[in-house]
Amino acid sequence: DRIESCRPCIQGKMKRKSFPKTSTMPGSSQLEHIHIDLYGPFPMGFLRSKCHFQTFTDDYT
């Protein structure tokens, strides 16, 4: 007998490919390739608000 695999079981065993350590296509001019990272939320301590921190990195400069 053949045992059928369920879709959630297969998806649970899948591994995500990691991002390459270096850019495969470096930018040849300003603003051609931009990397954006978003960090947070960080508690601010007043008015129950949260803060986020965002960075932009240009490959060329």
**Domains: count for the chain:** 1
**The one-letter amino acid at 24:** T
- What is residue 42's predicted lDDT score, i.e. its pLDDT? 86
**pLDDT tens for each residue of the chain, 61 residues long:** 566 778 888 888 888 777 777 656 777 899 888 889 999 988 887 777 888 999 999 888 7
* Structural domain for 48, as ranges: 27-61
CA angle 31, 58, 55 (to 5 degrees): 120
- What is residue 6's predicted lDDT score, i.e. its pLDDT? 83
Q: Would you say residue 22 lies in a domain?
A: no
Handedness of CA 55, 58, 59, 61 (dihedral sign): negative
Measured distance CA(42)–CA(50) in Å, rounded: 5
Q: Would you say residue 13 lies in a domain?
A: no
| Residue 43 near residue 50 (C-beta atoms within 8 A) | yes
Q: Would you say residue 17 lies in a domain?
A: no
- What is residue 37's predicted lDDT score, i.e. its pLDDT? 94
Q: Would you say residue 10 lies in a domain?
A: no
Q: Would you say residue 4 lies in a domain?
A: no
